[in-house]
Amino acid sequence: MGRRRYDPERRQRIIDAAIAVVGERGIAGLSHRAVAAAAQVPLGSTTYHFASLDDLLVAALRQVNGVCLADFARWVERIDPAVPLAEQVAELVGETLAGDRSRVELEYELYLTALRREAVRPIAAECLDEMVRLLGRRIGDDRTARAVVAFLDGVLLQHLLTGQPFEPAAVRAGLAGVLA
């Protein structure tokens, strides 16, 4: 019997591979076999570290959420109380849409997986709650923060789905209407 190779990074490589597989093939393309191939590990390694695909999706979503929340926290810290919030949200939407579209699509693909996979739902909810907490702490109002986060999600998702050109004035007016 061969010796087991010490590979402390294997679990992380599997998570990274799962994210890459979802980014390339979508959730429907995610399997232990596809992830093992992408991570260049034996199939048994994926099932050893993640007994189910839901376990793997939870780990992947946690990692993607971590990056997303770090970016959101940096934006929240830059909020200027002297500038209308609707203006700053419009800028955030514009920056997000002008950035790496595949990254935003991946984030939403994993996020929307929670609609069909019960195990993933709490992870998506945690991310939303943390966004509300971060923004609410900065602006002093959790109800407004929740409305802004919901509006932000809706606008980004609609732009990703329709490919409509980004119009900052429409975002500003829409959010101003929501917050009125």
Split the chain (180 residues) into runs of 10 and give each run's mean pLDDT.
68 96 93 96 94 94 95 96 94 92 89 90 95 95 95 94 91 89
What does the pLDDT read at residue 2? 46
SS (H, E, C) the chain: CCCCCCCCCHHHHHHHHHHHHHHHHCHHHCCHHHHHHHHCCCHHHHHHHCCCHHHHHHHHHHHHHHHHHHHHHHHHHCCCCCCCHHHHHHHHHHHHHHCCHHHHHHHHHHHHHHHCCCCCHHHHHHHHHHHHHHHHHHHCCHHHHHHHHHHHHHHHHHHHHHCCCCCHHHHHHHHHHHHC
- pTM greater than 0.85: yes
Contact 171, 90 (CB under 8 A): yes
For residue 144, give the nearest of 156, 129, 132, 128 by alpha carbon. Answer: 132
- Domain containing 29 — which CATH number? 1.10.10.60
Does residue 21 share a domain with residue 80?
A: no
Does residue 59 share a domain with residue 47?
A: no
Does residue 72 share a domain with residue 45?
A: no
Boundary-marking domain end, from 51, 69, 93: 51
Does residue 60 share a domain with residue 30?
A: no
Boundary-marking domain end, from 9, 31, 51: 51
What does the pLDDT read at residue 93? 94
Report the C-alpha gap between 38 and 18 in whole angstroms.
8
Does residue 88 share a domain with residue 5?
A: no
- Domain containing 154 — which CATH number? 1.10.357.10
Structure-token pair, residue 78: 């830059």
Boundary-marking domain end, from 15, 30, 51: 51
Contacts with 180 (C-beta within 8 Å, 6 or more apart), sequence order: none
- What are the distances in angstroms from CA 1 to CA 18, 32, 81? 30, 25, 66
What does the pLDDT read at residue 111? 86
Does residue 92 share a domain with residue 9?
A: no
- Burial tier of 96 (Cβ tally within 10 Å: 0-12, 13-18, 19+): buried
Does residue 81 share a domain with residue 170?
A: yes
What does the pLDDT read at residue 178? 86
Does residue 26 share a domain with residue 103?
A: no
Structural domain tally of the chain? Answer: 2
Domain that holds residue 91: 54-179
Average pLDDT, the chain: 92
Contacts with 55 (C-beta within 8 Å, 6 or more apart), sequence order: 119
Does residue 45 share a domain with residue 62?
A: no
What does the pLDDT read at residue 4? 58
Does residue 135 share a domain with residue 74?
A: yes
Does residue 136 share a domain with residue 150?
A: yes
Does residue 104 share a domain with residue 23?
A: no
